[in-house]
Amino acid sequence: MIRLKQAITTLSLSASLAIASGSLAEQRSEPTLKEALEGKFLVGATLNGWMLSDSDHPAYDLIETHFSSISPANSMKWGPMNPQPGEYKLEQADAFAAYGAQQGLDMIGHTLFWHSQTPNWVFEDSEGNPLTREALLARMRERARMMAERYGDRIKTWDVVNESIEGDGSWRKSKFQQIIGDDFTEQAFRIAMEELPADAKLLYNDYSMTDEGRRKAVVAMVKDFQEKGVRIDGIGMQGHWGMSYPSAQEIEKSILMFAETGVPVHITELDIDLLGRDHFFGANVDIGRIQANEENNPYADGKLPAEEEERFADRYAEVFAVLLKHSDKIERVTFWGVTDEDSWLNFWPVRGRTNFALLFDRDYQPKPAFYRIVELAAKTNSEPTAE
């Protein structure tokens, strides 16, 4: 298999994991995910730091077999790329862009501006005083220009702003908002429009996009941008969903409302949290302090009982029934990870628990949920869509 080793030879390569690295496609007779979803939407996965610093990581087999789009989990965020003024750590971001280009994959620049994982120095002058609005806008422009120059020829879709709207529809009181004002998101899109290539797709990306306040505010924002001539090319629904929340009806309602604005929907960070959290602690607990224990980590050996696998497959089928029904409005569905092993839900909100969130298990094998999606997609191909 051709791998872009030269792009990452400068990185320290850790030992590859135990799995044998024969092409999984060769061992399989069923269609791959990207074949099953062809003509519906692109299907993506996330490359995390472990993968980007290990060119033999077994996740690459699954990516090359099943996926048509990739997103970086962390390596293109402001903090990881530019932790101190003038200090740039671009190895992983460079490896991401080089790998995606070499494989001909659609790539997502995640994310230009986010309140989280952005270092304090971004908001301060050299004496530690808060920047003025103009100075912060200039700093944002500098970052957008650097990203455009370095990656703009290959990365064509950008999460311009991540999570600037609260569930009640108000602007998040981030440092960006406090310094720039309520037009932070608009200014960010103006900067992106001016600095990124004309063929770049500019997205707004947020979680809990079925919250009524957020959903309405996103629609109002997109319409406002369109009236003002501020380019916005898509709405990203992250899709960090649970086993019963949000309902299929609410997911569908958001897709329909977003699509009414005329821009496509991207499902940008899909995973389903099998273990959930509501049953063992309330919403207001400081989640950072929760540790794995017998009660909240029932399948610590990574083996899920068959009936739980089925319940999980049923939930993915329920979600994909909606996504496939509205595939004409959806440009891409990206899973936030590749296998259960690399899901962020092993670390949040419970540190060190063994969670189950994606379509491939810890042995890099497709789970029942994978087969359900493939079957559902095939069925959708053979039946006219009911409206």
Q: Which residues in this chain contact ligand 9MR in the complex, by CB under 6 A?
A: 73-74, 116-117, 162, 207, 238, 269, 344
| Minimum separation from the CB atom of position 194 to ligand 9MR (A) | 24
| Residue 73 burial (CB count, 10 A) | 23
| Ordered DSSP codes for 104-122 | T-EEEEEEEEESTT--GGG
Classify residue 339 by its DSSP letter.
Answer: B
Which of residues 50 and 281 has its CB atom nearest to ligand 9MR in the complex?
Answer: 50
Which of residues 43 and 345 has its CB atom nearest to ligand 9MR in the complex?
Answer: 345
| Minimum separation from the CB atom of position 215 to ligand 9MR (A) | 17
Alpha helical stretches, state H, the chain: 5-8, 24-27, 33-36, 49-52, 59-66, 78-81, 91-103, 133-151, 175-180, 184-195, 212-228, 248-259, 306-325, 368-382
| Ordered DSSP codes for 66-130 | H-SEEEESSTTSHHHH-SBTTB---HHHHHHHHHHHHHT-EEEEEEEEESTT--GGGGB-TTSPB
Beta-carbon contacts of 191 under 8 Å, excluding residues fewer than 6 positions away, are 137, 140, 141, 144
| Minimum separation from the CB atom of position 163 to ligand 9MR (A) | 7
Which of residues 31 and 167 has its CB atom nearest to ligand 9MR in the complex?
Answer: 167
Enter the tokens of residue 267. 């499902």
Which of residues 23 and 117 has its CB atom nearest to ligand 9MR in the complex?
Answer: 117
Residue with token string 């899920």: 304
Catalytic residue positions, numbered: 163, 269
Q: Are strands 240-242 and 42-47 parallel, antiparallel or unpaired?
A: unpaired
| Minimum separation from the CB atom of position 350 to ligand 9MR (A) | 14
Which of residues 117 and 178 has its CB atom nearest to ligand 9MR in the complex?
Answer: 117
Beta-carbon contacts of 329 under 8 Å, excluding residues fewer than 6 positions away, are 255, 256, 258, 259, 264, 265
Residue pair 49/67 in contact by the 8 Å Cβ criterion: no
Which of residues 51 and 196 has its CB atom nearest to ligand 9MR in the complex?
Answer: 51
Q: Reduced to 3 DSSP states, what percent helix, strand and coil does the chain have, rounded to the nearest 5?
A: 40, 15, 45
| Minimum separation from the CB atom of position 287 to ligand 9MR (A) | 11
Closest CA to 234 of 267, 283, 275, 272: 267
Which of residues 55 and 162 has its CB atom nearest to ligand 9MR in the complex?
Answer: 162
| Minimum separation from the CB atom of position 260 to ligand 9MR (A) | 24
Q: Is 244 helix (H, G, I), strand (E, B) or coil?
A: coil
Q: What is the number of the residue whose Cβ is closest to ligand 9MR? A: 344
* Cα 54 from Cα 212, distance rounded (Å): 42
Which of residues 33 and 47 has its CB atom nearest to ligand 9MR in the complex?
Answer: 47
Residue pair 24/111 in contact by the 8 Å Cβ criterion: no
| Minimum separation from the CB atom of position 337 to ligand 9MR (A) | 8
Closest CA to 386 of 325, 321, 314: 325
| Minimum separation from the CB atom of position 114 to ligand 9MR (A) | 7
